[in-house]
Structure 1
Amino acid sequence: MLLTAQQLKLIAPSLSVAKATELAELINLVAPNYGITNKNLFEEFLATILHESSEFSRKEENLNYTTPERIIKIWPSRFNYTGVGGKKNATAFVRNPKALANEVYNGRMGNKTGSNDGYDFRGGGFIQLTGRDMYNAYARYHGIAASEVADKTRKLDWWALDSACWVFVIEKKLLPLAERNDFITITKRINGGTIGLNDRMAYLARCRKFLV
């Protein structure tokens, strides 16, 4: 199927007409390369990326937290207000995204301890790639360097969309679930749970209404 700008604007009303036109053309160009070609697949995929990217407004993970309270809420096992008990003082990481990314992401997901990997391989794309291992896998798919891919997914819509297709189809293998309309399992595979499910379901309902 072909997605029109009018359909995308109805599903994602925050988009300008110009942006909806640009993105519809991009989706029609990229999605079929990954086998996303029929209505069922478009519905599940589009609903997922619209939620994950806040209607295509977010390509980069925001680690610029403005309060220690928020940092502690997100990572309660890693931070507190005092820096004792084996945890870090969250205040030191307020408005310090590089230090925060390195603290929470280094030593896992292929990121090296004592490096800037956590920050360099922070989330990027409309379904965010995170960690050196995932960026390496996606980079191998395209035959380019992971460091180059990471920068592109956070800055350029084509790469943000292509990487989202790759996550959905190649990394998470969600096409069979999409064919069966198993959106709950898709959400769990992407998110690790059902966070934001109401918002996701609202997008799915609009996709089913407006995609023909």
Structure 2
Amino acid sequence: MEYDVLIRNVFATPDVIELLSGRTSWLSYGYDNWLSNRFFLPSPFDPVDTLGLLAQPATLARVPVHSTPNYAIYQVSNKGNATLDYYHLPDHRTLLYDRRTRFAYWEQPLALDSGNPLAVTAEQLKAICPEASLTNIQKHIGPLNTAMQKYQINTRLRQAHFLAQVAVESDHFRATREYATGKEYEGRADLGNTQPGDGVRFAGRGLIQITGRDVYVKYGRYLGRDLTQGNSMKLVEQEPWAADAAGYFWLIYKKGKDLNGRADRDNVESVTRAVNGGHNGLAARQRYTANAKKVFGLK
């Protein structure tokens, strides 16, 4: 069963992404409060979408149930739940809106080489982290670009800090699992490791490592998967989950640390404390951030 929903036509420009993140007021857009959990489709009357995230379809395969210059009614599926809305757009793609992160993304990602002007190339990432092999970079570059779109790492400065941290945390993109066995986490109630064998079972995985039963449970719920049974937790060692887990860690798991905000303030030491809990590898993180800013043309 599907039902109709009213969607306000607003472009996903950088300003609107700021609005979606909750840092700016909707007053200038005349936003209606009762639409607080709905995402927005571009209008043909609006200027070109500068991010390319929600480009207006050239030819509509089917039309909205009802439309005006300012509003359109499209179908939203009951496939959604308390945290996710699934919007079926007229070109037969599906847009997901995550109410927890207040961010929208495609169920099937757009082609990054044509639809995402903020996509980072393998060559750029190699220049940021020269110690990494191009072979390893190529394994991760696509999923990393998707994760950066999904988790609001949507400015060059945010990308510079995120990629520098990922480069160090993954040992220059060599590792998606920590080198230690995880035995040192056995019995760590603060990590949720309350069952025998949890230390090894829930060792750190991902390009930024998630560690401990608690975060595996939370990330699994976010994905709609159980990452605690059998060998399911090992998925996080593989792409696209290794990169996605890094984005999840950055935006959702460490939400209270406001890593995007720290990146916006361009403070490598502050970002490092939030990611690593200390200053391990700080010099390398500073160097890779500087490299990234140079690659991206930032001062």
For normalisation by structure 2, the TM-score amounts to 0.55
After TM superposition, give the deviation of residue 13 of structure 1 in Å.
2.2
Gap runs ≥5 in structure 1: 64-96
Relative to structure 1, is the Cα distance of residues 163 and 32 closer, same or farther in structure 2, using a 3 angstrom cutoff? same
Between 40-49 and 139-148, report the one with greater CA deviation.
139-148
Distance 1:209 1:136, change over 3 A: same
Taking the aligned partners of 2:280 and 2:145, their CA distance within structure 1 comes to 28
**1:20 to 1:59, Cα distance in 2 relative to 1, 3 A:** closer
Aligned to 1:43: 160
Aligned to 1:11: 128
Equivalent in the alignment of 1:72 = none
1:25 Cα deviation after fit: 2.4
The letter of the residue matching 2:178 is: E
Instruction: Describe the SS at the equivalent of 1:123.
Output: coil
- Residue 159 (1) aligns with residue 219 (2): no
Question: Following TM superposition, by how much is the alpha carbon of 1:192 offset from its aligned partner in structure 2, in angstroms?
Answer: 1.1
1:20-74 Cα shifts (integer Å, max 9, x gaps):
34433222222101111110110110010001101110111122xxxxxxxxxxx
Residue 193 of structure 1 corresponds to 278
* 2:216 is aligned with 1:135: yes
- Report the Cα offset of residue 133 of structure 1: 0.5
- Aligned match of 2:192: 110
Q: Distance in 2 between matches of 1:24 and 1:186?
A: 22
Q: Deviations over 1:174-207 (max 9, x none)?
A: 1111112122111111111112111111111111
Asked if 1 retains the 8 angstrom alpha-carbon contact of 2:143 and 2:240, the reply is yes
1:126 aligned residue (176, 192, 207): 207
Tell me, yes or no, if the aligned pair for 2:187 and 2:193 is still in contact at 8 Å: yes
Mapped partners of 1:121, 1:209: distance in 2: 37
**What letter is aligned with 1:205?**
A
Deviations 1:60-103 (A, max 9, x none): 1122xxxxxxxxxxxxxxxxxxxxxxxxxxxxxxxxx4xxx345
Higher alpha-carbon deviation: 7-16 or 129-138: 7-16
Paired AA for residue 152 in structure 1:
L
Of Structure 1 and Structure 2, the greater helix share is in 1
Amino acid at match of 2:155: N
| RCO comparison, higher one (Cα < 8 Å, 6+) | 1
CA contact (8 A) 2:137 2:173 kept: no
Task: Answer yes or no: is the 8 Å Cα contact 1:50–1:56 preserved in 2.
Answer: yes
Q: Is the 8 A contact 1:3 1:211 kept in 2?
A: no
Compared CA separation, residues 8 and 140, structure 1 to 2 (3 A): same
C-alpha separation in 2, matches of 1:104 and 1:26? 29
Task: Show the counterpart of 1:150.
Answer: 233
Percent identity between the two aligned chains: 33
Residues 125 and 137 in structure 2, CA contact (< 8 A), matched pair in contact too: yes
CA offset at residue 14 of structure 1? 3.5
Distance in 2, Cα, partners of 1:197 & 1:132: 28
Q: Deviations over 1:142-170 (max 9, x none)?
A: 1110226521112x131111001110111
Q: Which amino acid aligns with 1:162?
A: D
Q: 2:252 maps to which residue?
A: 170
Q: 1:2 to 1:189 in 2, by over 3 A?
A: same
More strand by share: 2
TM-score, with length taken from structure 1: 0.75
1:32 is the counterpart of 2:149: yes
In our comparison, the structure showing a higher alpha carbon Rg is 2
Match of 1:87 in 2: none
